[in-house]
Structure 1
Amino acid sequence: MHITAVNTLEIRSFEDVDPVFETRLQAFAASFVEVPGCLGYVMNRSRAEANLWILSGYWATTSDMTTHFSSTSMTALVNALIEARANLTFASFTPVLTDTPQDGV
């Protein structure tokens, strides 16, 4: 199966984070792998900035990715990050193929 959509969530904490913060992020990423259409979900911590993590999801279709954004588990993650006062930067990517109709276009 091919990756047709990717999402990233950059998480930056400006306060000291407790030791379980990263463990919680890893648990969310592991649970997202079970979402229908998810081809993989990973969490990476910056080597240069101790309080920077990036979650990346890889999707079979754009609609699978979009459905994930409004899921209970994604809402729980965002709420937890808001409570932790984290700065969030979100991005999603889908290819623009001239020969193939795109989801939602």
Structure 2
Amino acid sequence: MFIAAINTIQVQAITYHSDALIGQLAGIVETLRETSECLAYRITRSDADPLTWVITGHWQSQAAMKAHFQHPALTELMGLLQCNVVRGIQLDSFVVR
């Protein structure tokens, strides 16, 4: 399995909402895993900040990663900002050379 690109999404929960947020995030990650061309998609809690969840996707091509950025589940993820459980979302992507 060759990984050509990686994306990360850091979701910072509002205090006291981190444990409740994992259920929503897990559903979004499962949808992305099942409906995109990812090699792997997972979610973990940050070791540095227990209020931050890190979602990571691994891709066989940069084009597949870019296409996934239009996925409706990512719109749902951004909608969490309006639900008063998320204080911030940071998106990053990397191309493996």
Per the alignment, residue 17 of structure 2 pairs with 17
Long gaps (5+) in structure 2: none
Q: Percent identity?
A: 25
Per the alignment, residue 80 of structure 2 pairs with 80
Long gaps (5+) in structure 1: 97-105
What number of residue pairs does the alignment pair up?
Answer: 96
Deviation (angstroms), 1:48: 4.1
Per the alignment, residue 3 of structure 1 pairs with 3
Deviation (angstroms), 1:18: 6.3
Runs of 4+ in 1 over 4 A off after TM superposition: none
Asked if 1:93 corresponds to 2:94, the answer is yes
Structural RMSD (CA): 1.8
Q: Comparing both chains, which one has the higher relative contact order based on Cα–Cα distances under 8 Å and sequence gaps of 6 or more?
A: 2
SS at match of 1:88: strand
For 1:36 and 1:14, how far apart are their aligned partners in 2?
29
Q: Which aligned pairs between 1:5-84 and structure 2 lie closer than 5 A?
A: 5-17=5-17, 19-83=19-83, 84=85
59 and 81 in structure 1: CA distance in 2 versus 1, 3 angstrom threshold: farther
For 2:78 and 2:14, how far apart are their aligned partners in 1?
16
62 and 71 in structure 1: CA distance in 2 versus 1, 3 angstrom threshold: same
Alignment-mate amino acid for residue 20 of structure 1: A
- From the two aligned structures, give the one with the greater strand fraction: 2
For 2:89 and 2:21, how far apart are their aligned partners in 1?
15
Instruction: State which drifts further: 55-64 or 74-83.
Output: 74-83
SS at match of 2:15: coil
- From the two aligned structures, give the one with the greater helix fraction: 2
61 and 82 in structure 1: CA distance in 2 versus 1, 3 angstrom threshold: farther
For 1:85 and 1:56, how far apart are their aligned partners in 2?
18
| Rg comparison, structure with higher value | 1
